[in-house]
């Protein structure tokens, strides 16, 4: 099983007043099953430049309401501001991370194998922009947190990882507009702050709180409880 998930996909935004009740049931259930297994999830906020407090898009609009799922907006590190394409919203986007002009793997199909020295051949790498470039950076930070806590035998939940990531974000004034947040707490991913928060968590964790394995029965009960809390589905 994965220790961390990154989700980079999305539906076209629609007004929340038009959203059909139950449209998000399947995704909510999937997130519930994932986070109940203590697997945190990073979700790309989307690239429609809309306020997720007003518009609904799946799955990014679900992030804030499900503990352990973090919706990620894109930050332009050159212009030092929210990327022009990024969805935003103080009630919909929980953190920003660099997502403009990011070196990424791409499809090599456009390369011409007959011209191996052609500088236009990408060798499978290229510069891309999007919240799908930002959310993997948060997923990487989640993996760092999970690895560090495990190495110190510290128990955690997906919500714990979310809180560490979001609460250690660096307040950034350019993620505000007219004095109001465009991203929750106008926070930008900050690995140094995260490292300090992790050290503090380990130092402040008493021995009795150290990790202990859950029984299969306990895991099943936790999963069912989480699904009941986050979905319209009935879980027997």
Mean pLDDT of all residues in 20-34: 75
Q: How many domains does the chain have?
A: 1
Residue 235 lies in a domain: no
Which domain, by its residues, includes 141? 5-230
**CATH code of the domain containing 125:** 3.40.50.200
Between 190 and 60, whose confidence is greater? Answer: 190
pLDDT at 164 over 70: yes
SS3 content of the chain, % helix, strand, coil (to 5): 40, 20, 40
pLDDT computed for residue 80 by the predictor: 92
Phi and psi based region of residue 218 (left: phi greater than 0; alpha: psi -120 to 50; beta: remaining) = alpha
Average pLDDT over residues 203-208: 64
Could you tell me the two tokens for 125? 């790498």
Mean of per-residue pLDDT scores for the chain: 81
- Residue 102 Cα to chain centre, angstroms: 17
Give me the percent of the chain exceeding a pLDDT of 70: 74
* pLDDT value, residue 126: 79
- At residue 213, does pLDDT exceed 90? no
Distance in angstroms (rounded) separating the CA atoms of residues 122 and 109? 10
Question: Can you tell me the mean pLDDT for 205-218?
Answer: 52
Is 118 a member of any domain?
yes
Work out the pLDDT band at 163, boundaries 50, 70, 90: very high
Domain-located, residue 189:
yes
Threshold 0.85, pTM exceeds: no
Q: Name the helix (H) or strand (E) containing 6.
A: strand 5-7
Question: At 181, is the pLDDT very low, low, confident or very high (cuts 50, 70, 90)?
Answer: confident
Kindly state whether residue 92 falls inside one of the protein's structural domains.
yes
End-to-end CA distance of the chain: 24
pLDDT of residue 117: 58
77-99 tens-digit pLDDT:
999 999 999 999 888 899 999 99
Question: Helices 158-167 and 131-151 sit at what angle, rounded to 10 degrees?
Answer: 110
198: confidence class by pLDDT, cuts 50, 70, 90: very high
Q: How far from 201 is each of 155, 164, 196, 204, CA to CA, in Å?
A: 11, 9, 9, 5
Residue 79: inside a domain = yes
Query: How many angstroms separate the CA atoms of 50 and 65, rounded?
Result: 18
Distance, CA of 235 to CA of 88 (rounded, Å): 33
Beta-carbon-side half-sphere exposure of residue 183 (alpha carbons within 13 Å) = 30
Query: Does residue 211 lie in a domain region?
Result: yes
189 CB-near residues (< 8 Å, 6+ apart): 95, 96, 97, 98, 137, 138, 141, 165, 169, 170
pLDDT tens digits, one per residue of 100-114: 999 888 766 555 555
The per-residue pLDDT for 173 is 86
Residue 6 CA to residue 44 CA, distance in Å, equals 8
50 assigned to some structural domain:
yes
- State mean pLDDT over 161-178: 90
Instruction: Tally Cβ neighbours within 10 Å of residue 105.
Output: 11
- Is 163 part of a structural domain of the chain? yes
Whether 208 has a pLDDT exceeding 80, the answer reads no
Convert the pLDDT of each residue in 55-80 to its tens digit: 888 788 887 788 999 999 999 999 99
């Amino acid at each position: 099983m994965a220790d961390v998930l990154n989700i980079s996909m999305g539906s076209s935004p629609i007004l929340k007043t038009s959203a059909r009740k139950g449209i998000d049931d399947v995704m909510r259930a999937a997130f519930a099953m994932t986070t109940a297994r203590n697997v945190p999830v990073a979700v790309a906020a989307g690239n429609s430049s809309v306020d997720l407090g007003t518009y609904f898009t799946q799955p990014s609009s679900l992030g804030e309401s499900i503990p352990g799922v973090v919706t990620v907006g894109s930050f332009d590190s050159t212009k030092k501001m929210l990327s022009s394409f990024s969805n935003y919203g103080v009630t919909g986007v929980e953190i920003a991370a660099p997502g403009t002009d990011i070196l990424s793997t791409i499809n090599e199909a456009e390369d011409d194998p007959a011209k191996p020295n052609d500088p236009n051949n990408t060798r499978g790498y290229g510069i891309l922009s999007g919240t799908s470039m930002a959310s993997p950076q948060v997923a990487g930070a989640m993996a760092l947190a999970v690895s560090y806590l495990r190495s110190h035998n510290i128990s955690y939940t997906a919500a714990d990882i979310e809180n560490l990531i979001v609460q250690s974000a660096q307040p950034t004034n350019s993620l505000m507009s007219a004095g109001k947040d465009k991203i929750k707490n106008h926070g930008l991913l900050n690995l140094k702050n995260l490292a300090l928060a992790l050290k503090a968590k380990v130092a402040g964790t008493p021995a009795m709180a150290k990790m202990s394995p859950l029984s299969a029965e306990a895991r099943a009960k936790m999963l069912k409880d989480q699904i009941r809390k986050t979905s319209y589905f009935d879980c027997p």
